[in-house]
Structure 1
């Protein structure tokens, strides 16, 4: 049978309360008693009942992570980092995939109320303001990424406009003059911001924004990038560079360019977004915007922890920008003179 607090207390020669204080990490225990308890814990193999402890504290021991699509590497990598951050707070993570539809996003939150989770991190694409209003009063919510809805909940994201400007400025600084964009999508808040940054960078370089060089993408998969690139290459004057709104679009675009007989970056420079693991191992390796995904995950989890610990009125709504960098790789090496 599993050892109990009473078993540990009897072996250590201290009270059950003293054992409880040590197990729960409280500081007011005499060093000698702490040593005895720790030795007894090791000898008995005692393991705390996390479920019972959470119930006593009014917690479930779970948080939710609600994402559009786990097959997109960015979201898979973010999920792994959220799990790591949650473990530091003794939380398990329930993950729900919504495909970015309002019904799935609503049902994910409805199914996991305060009886199941202590809070939720979500990357929504379709929820309306009234949907948030129904949930954020019951549990702490943190939104990661961008979604155009005015709601009083915590928000963690990078500066997508500046990140896109940085990516496109990199291309124009290399002397590229027909810079295309793949990824315009009115359903995605991030897409609107990245388009704003794209337009701003072209304006700063004295280049026109040409509608023929802006290609929408319903989804953000490799096949969508390849299809968009094939369209761009069919133009009378194809682009000499392309900014893709995620790495999968960029990798698909590079494949289409290779099939067309073009060399990246000599004939076509390519920049992606997200710095997923695949981007470092593609051929050529992909220049990309690298959000600090670890900072996004850790900040979001820490916000939930603080909301759980403090009354809402003592902790105003947070809007936190995390850093990003531009990872310059082979897909944008400077064009040779010869």
Structure 2
């Protein structure tokens, strides 16, 4: 039987020290050194003292990643993010990291779905099982081949999810949240309310659009297709672009519901450039409650998603799956935060 290649480490002097050198110094086998370092099996007090003395004398430090791989795990979790520029995702990733690091895991970030193209490293990380599990904030439509090809790799969805799917997820009720936002505008007397939407390959975008329509129908307000604009993305500049199209209408809206704060802030900038005052001439409500929403002028009225808590909840779901459990999906609470823009 061939012997496994010993793990190596770099001490403070920069010279690689192998586990075999520690074994030779202590006068024990490599297996015994491994038992002491990993606390995997009991050894005598004398043996432990000799191994610990050799480790200290040589400055040996075990390679934790390689050691984990010998146990069949990497202690790495992949987090798939669709847009690194959107503050919503950075706040959610912070929530993920806050939980998994307390349990000895680290995270690897990758953009999706572009990062899963064959010429990137992410597919190798997945198919070579260099990660123990995946949390996806991206649209799962384009990820189905990877999910299908690795049925034993635990996946969890966050915010975005598969409707009626078997993958556990942490999210909010996007449809109800959008309905609450539009109902607030209706209660303020608005009848011509526009929607700044996003790519509806995302479940959250479809559900927020549906919530917008449900609020109008409940109030007896006819749907007007001209008042619906789907932005080419969620960047601030794309919010400006979509809002400009609304201002070009013969009968422009008196209020706008945007499906993200970044779109809402871009819209406000476009309205200002056109000489429209917010909220006096046109009211704007966003979605997410990113950090900028509170300090922007005018401060943004918005739907607050518990971004950090969503990431933390998704992380707990994945840890439960890694432990062999079968967690149920979680729906967290949203809130309408009223500020100056509406």
Q: TM class by shorter-chain length? A: 0.7 to 0.9
Query: Does residue 256 in structure 1 map to residue 266 in structure 2?
Result: no
Query: Does residue 110 in structure 1 map to residue 123 in structure 2?
Result: yes
Q: How many residues align?
A: 305
| Alignment equivalent of 2:169, drawn from 145, 152, 155 | 155
Q: Offset of 1:208 from its aligned partner?
A: 1.6
| Alignment equivalent of 2:336, drawn from 323, 326, 329 | 326
Name the structure 1 match of 2:289.
275
The TM-score with structure 1 as length reference comes to: 0.78
Matched position secondary structure for 1:88: helix
Take 1:243 and 1:249, find their aligned partners in 2: how far apart are those partners?
10
Name the structure 2 match of 1:66.
80
Q: Offset of 1:102 from its aligned partner?
A: 9.2
Taking a change above 3 Å as real, the CA distance of residues 326 and 118 of structure 1, as seen in their structure-2 partners, is same
Asked if the contact 1:288/1:326 (under 8 Å) is kept, the reply is: yes
Take 2:254 and 2:232, find their aligned partners in 1: how far apart are those partners?
23
Taking a change above 3 Å as real, the CA distance of residues 233 and 207 of structure 1, as seen in their structure-2 partners, is same
Aligned pairs for 1:30-179 (under 5 A) are 50-51=64-65, 54-55=68-69, 57-98=71-112, 100-101=113-114, 104=117, 110-111=123-124, 112-113=126-127, 115-125=129-139, 127=141, 130-131=144-145, 133-148=147-162, 151-179=165-193
Q: Offset of 1:46 from its aligned partner?
A: 10
Take 1:252 and 1:156, find their aligned partners in 2: how far apart are those partners?
28
Asked if the contact 1:63/1:120 (under 8 Å) is kept, the reply is: yes
Query: Does residue 265 in structure 1 map to residue 275 in structure 2?
Result: no
Asked if the contact 1:132/1:151 (under 8 Å) is kept, the reply is: no
Which sections of structure 2, spanning at least 5 residues, go unmatched?
A: 1-9, 12-21, 27-32, 41-52
Name the structure 2 match of 1:197.
211
Matched position secondary structure for 1:170: helix
Q: Offset of 1:49 from its aligned partner?
A: 5.6
Asked if the contact 1:217/1:228 (under 8 Å) is kept, the reply is: yes
Taking a change above 3 Å as real, the CA distance of residues 81 and 317 of structure 1, as seen in their structure-2 partners, is closer
Q: Offset of 1:73 from its aligned partner?
A: 1.5
Taking a change above 3 Å as real, the CA distance of residues 104 and 328 of structure 1, as seen in their structure-2 partners, is farther
Name the structure 2 match of 1:30.
none
Taking a change above 3 Å as real, the CA distance of residues 228 and 63 of structure 1, as seen in their structure-2 partners, is same
Asked if the contact 1:118/1:139 (under 8 Å) is kept, the reply is: yes
Could you say what the CA RMSD is over the residues aligned between the two structures, in angstroms? Answer: 3.4
Matched position secondary structure for 1:326: strand
The TM-score with structure 2 as length reference comes to: 0.77
Taking a change above 3 Å as real, the CA distance of residues 174 and 309 of structure 1, as seen in their structure-2 partners, is same
Greater Rg by CA:
2
Q: Offset of 1:114 from its aligned partner?
A: 5.9
Take 1:62 and 1:254, find their aligned partners in 2: how far apart are those partners?
41
Name the structure 2 match of 1:228.
242
Matched position secondary structure for 1:162: helix
Asked if the contact 1:120/1:141 (under 8 Å) is kept, the reply is: yes
Q: Which moved more, 1:142-151 or 1:185-194?
A: 142-151
Taking a change above 3 Å as real, the CA distance of residues 258 and 106 of structure 1, as seen in their structure-2 partners, is same
Name the structure 2 match of 1:213.
227
Matched position secondary structure for 2:302: strand
Take 2:277 and 2:166, find their aligned partners in 1: how far apart are those partners?
48
Aligned pairs for 1:19-34 (under 5 A) are none
